[in-house]
């Protein structure tokens, strides 16, 4: 039996914590090594246990989750941070990644998206759910209206528009008569062509953990 991935949950909402624990326990690939409802207790937990992942809420009573993310990345470089937020705001998303988070998803995301984000981060990949990616894309296009539009095929533009609306991959695949894998491949191609996420991360300040 393969070793489970260790994860700490730092969130002020006990109901969400218990729900997330349930999702992780059903997957059987994760071991929740503890949870905390404040940044100070969470950081103590991270320092002691050095988990592979930390699920962090931006809204904590004693310190913002953004500042906590910076502390985690500095104090425990082996711990990768996934920010799980109750609201979707551009500045919050931007600051989360710039602080060192590797994923941002909204709390009411379905279990498969939550698990997808965690496994992506374990592979060393950045991750955003479709709603978050759409928010970033709309903000980027508003400030760079002509960036990359001429290099997308008509089908890719249609998929990009659907992703920006936050449509699930299955819904997009059904609409276009494609397989989910084809839509996933197209999404990857679109991101590479536009270099959107790389541009988004380019202003992230360096930290002691930024080379990881």
Task: Kindly report, residue by residue over 38-56, the tens digit of the pLDDT.
Answer: 999 999 999 999 999 999 9
Supply the pLDDT for residue 147: 53
Token output for 100: 């060192």
Q: Which residue has the tokens 């409802």?
A: 37
Interatomic CA distance for residues 80 and 59, integer angstroms: 18
For residues 173 and 186, is the Cβ–Cβ distance under 8 A? Answer: no
Q: What is the mean pLDDT of residues 122-131?
A: 88
Supply the pLDDT for residue 160: 83
Cα→Cα distances 171→130, 163, 164, 176, 180, Å: 12, 10, 13, 9, 9
**Is 76 a residue whose pLDDT tops 50?**
yes
69 pLDDT tier (thresholds 50, 70, 90): very high
Supply the pLDDT for residue 1: 44
For residues 8 and 51, is the Cβ–Cβ distance under 8 A? Answer: yes
Supply the pLDDT for residue 198: 59
Q: Mean pLDDT in the chain?
A: 85
**Is 211 a residue whose pLDDT tops 50?**
no
Supply the pLDDT for residue 207: 38
Q: What is the mean pLDDT of residues 106-118?
A: 93
Interatomic CA distance for residues 10 and 212, integer angstroms: 22
201 pLDDT tier (thresholds 50, 70, 90): low
Delineate the domains of the chain, giving CATH numbers in brackets: 5-126 (3.40.50.2300), 132-201 (1.10.10)
Condensed to tens digits (0 to 9), the pLDDT of residues 140-191 reads: 777 665 555 556 788 888 888 888 788 888 999 999 999 988 998 888 887 7
**Is 60 a residue whose pLDDT tops 70?**
yes
Cα→Cα distances 158→105, 148, 153, 187, Å: 23, 14, 9, 11
Length of the chain: 212
């Amino acid at each position: 039996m393969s070793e489970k991935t260790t994860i700490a949950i730092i969130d002020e909402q006990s109901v969400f914590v218990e729900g997330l624990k349930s999702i992780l326990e059903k997957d059987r690939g994760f071991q929740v090594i503890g949870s905390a409802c404040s940044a100070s207790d969470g950081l103590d937990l991270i320092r002691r246990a050095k988990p592979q992942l930390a699920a962090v809420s931006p809204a904590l009573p004693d310190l913002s989750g953004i500042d906590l993310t910076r502390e985690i990345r500095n104090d425990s470089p082996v711990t990768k941070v996934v920010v799980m937020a109750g609201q979707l705001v551009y500045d919050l998303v931007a600051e989360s990644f710039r602080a060192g988070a590797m994923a941002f998803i909204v709390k009411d995301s379905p279990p498969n998206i939550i698990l997808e984000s965690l496994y992506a981060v374990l592979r060393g990949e950045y991750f955003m759910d479709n709603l978050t990616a759409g928010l970033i894309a709309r903000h980027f296009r508003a400030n760079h209206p002509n960036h990359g539009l001429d290099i997308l095929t008509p089908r890719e533009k249609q998929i990009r528009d659907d992703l920006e609306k936050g449509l699930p991959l299955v819904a997009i695949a059904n609409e276009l008569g494609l397989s989910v894998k084809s839509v996933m491949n197209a999404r990857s191609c679109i991101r590479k062509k536009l270099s959107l996420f790389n541009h988004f991360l380019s202003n992230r300040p360096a930290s002691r953990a930024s080379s990881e």
